[in-house]
Amino acid sequence: MPDPVTLRYLTLHPTDVAAVPDLDDADFDRQLADEAARLFDHEGWTERKSWHGGIVDTFILPHECVTYDPALSSGQSGPSPTGKAGEEGILWHKRVSQFKASEHGGYDVWYDAMGDRHIEQEEEYVDNLVNVIDVGKDAGKEGCYCKLYKLPFGATDRSFMAHCRVVTPSSLSTEESNEQGDKSASSKKPEGESASESSDGLREFLVFSLPITTSTDVKEEKKYVRGTQATVERVRELEGGTIEWSCASLSTPGGNIPVKLSESKMANSLADAVPSVLAWMNRAHPPGASHIKSGTYTADTPANAQKPARLRQTQDAANPGGGMGLMPAGRFTLEMFQKEVPLRDY
């Protein structure tokens, strides 16, 4: 059995919203990124299962492989993620999926979909997420929300208080080098390189959802039972044009649901999230969307098959090419018809 990983931030001990680190706290982000890496890469993950035709693999991390030492609250250290005796059976669950960038989009497309405006876009692809309330506004804290979920008939609706933040580990390394005053040429970021690009050229970002609590009641939460959840998602580039999307989650639904019952459904729940997100991405962020934004969209980019280019009319003339006033976007440019052509004498 490998040595247990000690988790200080990825626990089920809620942090008071007033004590939540600010979004520009780079040191906190570095500690989060390091803890997530140790969790994802731990050798103790077991009980591998494949779902949806092999699109998703799920794993469980036995409780012997984790110990908790909460850093942001006065919770009790030990093997229980909540600090309560008898809740050692609340386990970490992980899912892993790998996709070809040519089929489901490259890193930039995934960041636009999962990293940028994460909460706003989450409301688009999580069907039972019915409301998100900003609970950090009064305390001057960004990224703190109460999320309300509608459950099937017969089950009480659930709410979760979450502190959400997006972290790009390699950009933190760059900031740390700058803080140490390393101004050598080798430490400078090459021109045009992404801030989230690592030394081997492969990029990744992490999305954290950490449990919080507030001293005041949220009126919209009145008829909901509050659960507690800690989740981290990792999207990273691999060699060969592959994108890996992983999610590790630890949660308790609250109420009177037995731990064994909720744990038995975790793997299935994690796996079922993947197809719906892919379907949403295909609509909202087609694989070639980054080409459109960068101005390099052409008829043979992957997005063309997913979302055919609209016809457009040139601004300077309705008919610059002799009957070719309407042209597929990106295939021809106006400049092609404005070049001077030398005349020959006959």
**Are 32 and 167 contacting, i.e. CB atoms less than 8 angstroms apart?**
yes
Query: Mean pLDDT throughout 73-99?
Result: 90
**CB neighbours of residue 63 within 10 Å:** 17
Name residues whose C-beta falls within 8 Å of residue 273's C-beta, 6 or more positions apart in sequence: 95, 126, 247
Query: Mean pLDDT throughout 305-312?
Result: 35
Residue 198, pLDDT score = 55
Residue 154, pLDDT score = 83
Residue 313, pLDDT score = 37
Name residues whose C-beta falls within 8 Å of residue 54's C-beta, 6 or more positions apart in sequence: none
Sequence length of the chain is 346
Report which of 245, 250, 244, 246 is spatially closest to residue 266, judged by C-alpha positions.
250
Distances from the Cα of 265 to the Cα of 56, 169, 251, 338, angstroms: 15, 31, 11, 64
Report which of 228, 230, 279 is spatially closest to residue 253, judged by C-alpha positions.
228
- Separation CA 137–CA 18 (nearest Å): 10
What is the band of 80 on the pLDDT scale with cuts at 50, 70, 90? very high
What is the band of 153 on the pLDDT scale with cuts at 50, 70, 90? confident
CATH homologous superfamily, domain 5-181+193-285 = START domain (3.30.530.20)
pTM of the predicted structure, to 2 decimals: 0.77
CA dihedral 128, 134, 135, 141 (to 10 degrees): 130
Query: Mean pLDDT throughout 96-109?
Result: 94
63: tokens are: 């409780």
181: tokens are: 């005053």
What is the band of 278 on the pLDDT scale with cuts at 50, 70, 90? very high
- Separation CA 113–CA 243 (nearest Å): 13
Strand partners, 67: 6
Q: pLDDT: is 322 or 127 the higher one? A: 127
* Unique residue bearing structure tokens 């609970």: 135
Report which of 232, 95, 119, 99 is spatially closest to residue 169, judged by C-alpha positions.
232
Pairing mode of beta strands 144-149, 129-134: antiparallel
Q: Is 172 helix (H, G, I), strand (E, B) or coil?
A: helix
Kindly report, residue by residue over 23-50, the tens digit of the pLDDT: 999 999 999 999 999 999 999 999 999 9
Among 56-70, 197-211, 293-307, the range scoring the smallest mean pLDDT is 293-307
Show me where the domains of the chain are located.
Answer: 5-181+193-285, 302-336
- Separation CA 221–CA 234 (nearest Å): 29
